[in-house]
Chain A
């Protein structure tokens, strides 16, 4: 087990390196906005742009820039710990900015995860057990609707319907409320709408996924054995069916949590929540390369770590898995 984890951690390092190469190529090598121009403000003189370019190190060759970036990133090289660089736009270090935004993102993600599990799992189970009934059809129809509706659309619809300022039924705090809220209760209230919007599609996906899995599982021979033993139908479905059908959900959940911790870009942008996602969104708009690289790397870190955690968890969930 320990050897396995060590091997996987090496792999994590390699993956992160590959990801940093890819982001560097996409945002720095391929033609995009010129960060120096963006930094220089409105109608800058060419001299000013040149000065800024030198300041930011953009005049160096691309490989040089990348090696420099990598050196900053690695904790034991260059003597500056893990250094994500500093933002071109506001001259602040990237990593502290990200960490400062992490709580909002974590809060948003956690609430949404709890919500979609609480909805998706019971709905999926019920649909599987009552396959073909009107209840199943209704639930799966609604699920399809939520899966098809993009978050930014669903978010705007929610705002138009329920937000205090522009809503038809002004019952919930609207856009930007999270940043303005001062108390914990206020923050919770501000997140009700984002939680629901973010959880909707996930709950729908999880319900459909679990339904499909459970329907397949209930056809298994060991379910027939459980019935042949004379167990109650409840026990057959929960202890034997759901126990086996829910295992793949762990994989899905791990990766989804990883993705969301890297920032729920759309949700955070629509509801103007000061999290990592919105930070990344703004950086992309301004070609703020270090911030883009930082947020992408940060998000990628969560994803690869979560997938490692999922694989380790599997050894405990499924006795057939051994490392």
Chain B
């Protein structure tokens, strides 16, 4: 099998601040194959955006300490020069962002902004770049593309702006598209259209996609694989079907139970995850999820779990200190609608408090 398109290994992004070292990304590894889609899911502050910006070489803060390796198409990106990275950005790897209005320059016409990206990488005339921009706008489903190319971002609707962003990102036919919360700022009705558009173009251009989101629902349809991030680390990674059918991490369970389901009984309550994400400066000892985990044991507050393969499930990895059989029993209770506390008392023996 050929080497993966993107290979991130033990990536760490720490920020030195006056309050202490912020471990925004704390040793994550993942790979993305050509044409494949990886979903990275996590709450705000879990490090999902920082990790992808670092892949693009856009973590520019002077206080950032970056280590690990990022290989793209065989090239080492973390060690690459600024000029080499510039040639990768927008050409080999492109990115779209959460808020398409603030991500487009308010003073330049949409067509000009797309054409500018084309001319940054290809030696073409202005007119050719403009034609490419119009072609891309038509490809992303913008009606009257030649006329709309001549309009400013504020004259577009939210969904149209994100389409324009996608047109800009794909104008140079990149091998990898990173979509950072591509639908979060959009109306619900538009969200699905944008996701469909990304999927359609992905198969047309054979682009690999990394979708970053806090919403498992966004990646359910389109991702081949999902990585769940918590406090700067990947806590669970598995093929999409597995994540939904047989999740292993209590945090993933929490994410799944907090999504409303159409097939669930109407009176079923959603179960929110208790507590808040931890401070990335003073991470809780042991498993960083332990303060919020309904199934925590004393030992979990001391031992740091590693991301390890789940026995008998190829491609499924989890960082959890619960025994595999306990996890399975817990999930089988939870999926039938049992509340976390009840599941705990059903499945787990209570610990004897050590005097």
Chain A residues engaging chain B, CB cutoff 8 angstroms? 132, 220-222, 224-233, 235, 239-240, 243-244, 247, 317-320
How many angstroms from the CA of A319 to the CA of B91 in the assembled complex? 29
Give which listed residue, B86, B103, B106, B120, contacts A224 with CB less than 8 A: B103
**A229 and B116 within 8 A (CB):** yes
| CB contact under 8 A between A243 and B107, given known A228-B94, A229-B117, A230-B121 | yes
Query: Nearest 9 pairs between A and B by C-beta?
Result: A230-B90, A229-B117, A230-B89, A221-B102, A229-B90, A222-B105, A221-B103, A228-B95, A319-B152
Give which listed residue, A229, A243, A318, A319, contacts B120 with CB less than 8 A: A229
List chain A residues, Cβ under 8 A from B102: 220-222
B82 contacts the other chain (CB 8 A): yes
B154 contacts the other chain (CB 8 A): yes
**For residues 97 through 128 of chain B, which have their beta carbon under 8 Å from a beta carbon of chain A?**
97, 99, 102-107, 116-117, 120-121
**B58 and A229 within 8 A (CB):** no
How many angstroms from the CA of A221 to the CA of B104 in the assembled complex? 8
List chain B residues, Cβ under 8 A from A239: 116
Chain B contributes a number of interface residues (CB within 8 A of A) equal to: 29
Question: Whole-angstrom distance from the CB of A322 to the nearest CB of chain B?
Answer: 10
Give which listed residue, B89, B152, B165, contacts A227 with CB less than 8 A: B89
- In the complex, how many residue pairs between chain A and chain B have their CB atoms under 8 Å apart? 75
**B99 and A221 within 8 A (CB):** yes
Which of A225, A228, A239 lies at the interface centre, i.e. has the most chain B CB atoms within 10 A of its CB? A228
List chain B residues, Cβ under 8 A from A240: 105
How many angstroms from the CA of A225 to the CA of B96 in the assembled complex? 8
B168 contacts the other chain (CB 8 A): yes
Question: Whole-angstrom distance from the CB of B114 to the nearest CB of chain A?
Answer: 9
**A222 and B106 within 8 A (CB):** yes
B87 contacts the other chain (CB 8 A): yes
**B105 and A244 within 8 A (CB):** yes
Question: Whole-angstrom distance from the CB of B155 to the nearest CB of chain A?
Answer: 9
How many angstroms from the CA of A229 to the CA of B56 in the assembled complex? 10
**A224 and B58 within 8 A (CB):** yes
Closest to A222 in B: B105
**A225 and B154 within 8 A (CB):** no
List chain B residues, Cβ under 8 A from A224: 58, 97, 103
List chain A residues, Cβ under 8 A from B82: 233
**A227 and B58 within 8 A (CB):** yes
List chain B residues, Cβ under 8 A from A226: 105
| CB contact under 8 A between A228 and B105, given known A221-B97, A221-B99, A233-B82 | no
